Structures are given as C-alpha cells and as structure tokens.
Amino acid sequence: MIVVAENLGRWYGQVAGLNEVSLSIAGGITGLVGVNGAGKSTLIKLLVGEIRPSRGRIQVLGHEPFANRPYFRKIGFCPQQDALYDQLTGFGMVKFLLRLSGFSPAQADRTAEATLQRVGMTDAMHRRIGGYSKGMRQRVKIAQAIAHEPELLICDEPLNGLDSVGRRDILELLSELGDSGVHILVSSHVLHEIENLTENIVLLHRGRVLAQGTVPEVRDLLTRFPRRIEIKAGRPRQCAEAIMPLEHVLSVGIIPETGVIKVETRNIDQFYRDLTAIVAAGELEIGSLEAVDAGLEAVFDYLVD
C-alpha cells in the first residue's frame, strides 16, 4: 500500500477538515473525489507533509510525511494554486526548481528539457510563462512535480479552471504517466472525468470517507436506492403499459415532447431481465435504453443525500 491512514483527523479550531478517516490506497492511479469542502485538500496537505494530523496516523510510501526530508524526495506535488514565475520560461522554471533540489547545472538542463518534452511542451518551453495558457501552465506544474522521477505524484484539482480541451489533455497526460509506472493520487470535483481516468476512487464528504474501491464496487452501493432508466421505443404508450405491472417498477412516465419513457425501479437487474423477455416475445420494439444514474456522479449524489 502506498498510503495507509488510521483514524486520521485534522481540525482547524472547532472545524473538522478530516474526521476519523481510515483508508488504504494501493499503487496505480487513484481519484480523491468530492464536492468543494469535502476534505480533499486537507487530506492532500497531510499527504505532502504540509500539515500534521490532529489525531490518528498516516504513512505514505512507508514514511510519516510531516517534516520528513527523505520522504519529500520520493513524491512530486502539483498544487491547486498557481505559483509559477511569469517572467521565467517553462524551461527556466523547471531548471530553477531542479537546482534547488540539488541537481548540477548540467543535470538540471538535461532533465528540465526531457521532462518538458515528456509533458508536451517541446515547442513552448523557451517562451515566458506569462504568455502561457492555463493548460500550458498546468503542464509546467506537472513537469516540475515529476522532473526528479518521484515514486508518487500528488495532484490537487489539476483540472480546475481548464476548458474541455485542456481537461482532456491533462487527463491523457496523467494516464500516460500512470502507464509508465508512476503512482498518482489526483483530487477533483469533476467526478465523471475522474471516472474516465481511473477505476480506483475514494469518495469524501464533510471530512469523512463515504466509500472506497473501484467504480463498479462503489456503484454497487446503488442497490439500496431506486434506479432510473430512460427508454426510447416505437410505441411509447404501449411500452409504458407493458412495463407498469412489473412488481419491482415504482413509477413510469412519458415525456410528451420526446416520447422518452422514464422508469424508476428498485431492482434494475430484474427489470432488464423482464424487459428482455417482453421484447423477445415480440410485444415491444425498443430503440434505446439507458440507466441515467449509473455514473459516479449519481453514486455520489445518492450517498450524500
């Protein structure tokens, strides 16, 4: 396990940033997800050794993070805040930080250039950061975090403020880094995009862990809630009438403008089986069927509510 936390708590006066958090995180890419204020940034500050726990314990890569210089060399941190120097070039920024880390001038030159090429900044590395787009600045932040080849990369809201193209590019970059063997912890409130990046997630809310596991494992928690399905059929009214008597169906409605049938069921697997049997008997023709609450966003909404 790269991260182990036991009864972890962090208080700010009378306010709990984290409360009784226990979790274990294995290697690969893991998403820390939750709405703003869920405790993600507090957990990351504990992970990078910026603050110490108020109670409990945390170990990362076998180290207690706070004030631990040998540990700091094992991790790379891409913070949410932008603290880049606009007057420097991307190359100059990464080289400067490598020199602070103890690299010789020649080593820093070679490493900065190779790392910026790795994150897709080959053509722009010698331009001033002040002229960079948000996405380019984010790439430089990731470059400085991985230039010393850390075992673990920690990214706090790396998608924040990016447009759709920028978010896609950063997700692709993180995926490539993960494929190359870098362990990554990435926090975000953009839940569906984290779902596209990794199967492994930790759901945080109000300083506590709501759920942890793979997306399918967390999605299985939905079995305690009604599920919603939308169906497009050639004859919507006939389809609705056939579905309505099913024992596990709670409600059926038709959207007049589109003819889409909205179904709520307490047993989605049985619903699929029953609907398949009805279609196989030649009673209905189904154009499309979609479980509208199957994504990670819906799981989070249900658990929070």
Kindly state whether residues 49 and 165 are assigned to the same domain.
Answer: yes
Structure token pair of residue 76: 């790379």
How many domains are there within the chain? 2
Q: Which of 222, 244, 276 is the last residue of a domain?
A: 222
Does residue 245 share a domain with residue 137?
A: no
Looking at per-residue pLDDT, the higher value among 12 and 86 belongs to 86
Condensed to tens digits (0 to 9), the pLDDT of residues 198-208 reads 889 898 888 88
Q: What is the pLDDT of residue 86?
A: 97
Where does residue 150 fall: left (phi above 0), alpha (psi -120 to 50 degrees), or beta otherwise? beta
Say what percent of the chain tops pLDDT 70: 93
Nearest alpha carbon to residue 148 among 174, 118, 170 = 118
Q: Which of 222, 246, 266 is at the close of a domain?
A: 222
Same domain membership, residue 249 and residue 199:
no
> Residue 144 corresponds to which tokens in the numbers above?
């400085």
Quick: pLDDT tens for 127-138: 999 999 999 999
CA dist., res. 93 & res. 108, Å (int):
11
CATH of residue 83: 3.40.50.300
Give me the pLDDT at residue 294, please. 60
Strands 15-25 and 75-78: unpaired
**Residue 34's pLDDT band (cuts 50, 70, 90):** confident
Per-residue pLDDT, averaged over 283-297, amounts to: 73
For residues 184 and 40, membership in a common domain is answered with yes
Same domain, 68 and 176: yes
Query: Confidence class of residue 291 from pLDDT cuts 50, 70 and 90?
Result: confident
Contact call for residues 193 and 223 (beta carbons, < 8 A): no
- Show the domain range for 192: 3-222
At 278 the pLDDT is 84
Same domain, 214 and 289: no
> What CATH number is attached to the domain comprising 296?
3.30.70.100
* Contact yes or no for 16/205 (Cβ under 8 A): no
pLDDT above 70 for 273: yes
Average of pLDDT values for 146-151? 94
Q: CA neighbours within 13 Å on the CB side: how many for 290?
A: 8
- The model's pLDDT over 155-175, given as tens digits with 9 standing for 90+, comes to 998 887 777 788 888 888 899
Question: Mean pLDDT over all residues of the chain?
Answer: 88
Residues 232 and 269 in one domain: yes
Residue 42 and residue 159 in one domain: yes
Please name the residues in contact with 202: beta carbons below 8 A apart, sequence gap of 6 or more: 23, 25, 30, 31, 32, 33, 209, 211, 212
Of the listed ranges 74-78, 191-195, 234-238, the least confidently predicted one is 191-195
154 in helix, strand or coil? strand
User: Per residue in 240-257, pLDDT tens?
Assistant: 888 889 988 989 999 988
Residues comprising the chain, all counted: 305
pLDDT at 185: 96
| Among the listed residues 225, 213, 294, 166, the one whose alpha carbon sits nearest the alpha carbon of residue 33 | 213
Same-domain status, 207 and 232: no
Final residue in a domain of this structure, among 222, 247, 282: 222
Confidence at residue 295, expressed as pLDDT on a 0 to 100 scale: 59
* 108 and 120, same domain (yes or no): yes
pLDDT digits (tens, 9 = 90+) for 211-238: 888 877 876 766 667 788 899 888 888 8
Question: Residues 161, 263: one domain?
Answer: no
At 37, the pLDDT band (50, 70, 90 cuts) reads: confident
Q: How is 251-279 classified by DSSP, letter by letter?
A: EEEE-TTT--EEEEES-HHHHHHHHHHHH
Same domain, 114 and 250: no
Give the pLDDT band of residue 296 (cuts 50, 70, 90): low
What is the rounded average pLDDT of the residues 186-197?
80
27 vs 93, more confident: 93
Confidence of residue 271 (pLDDT cuts 50, 70, 90): confident
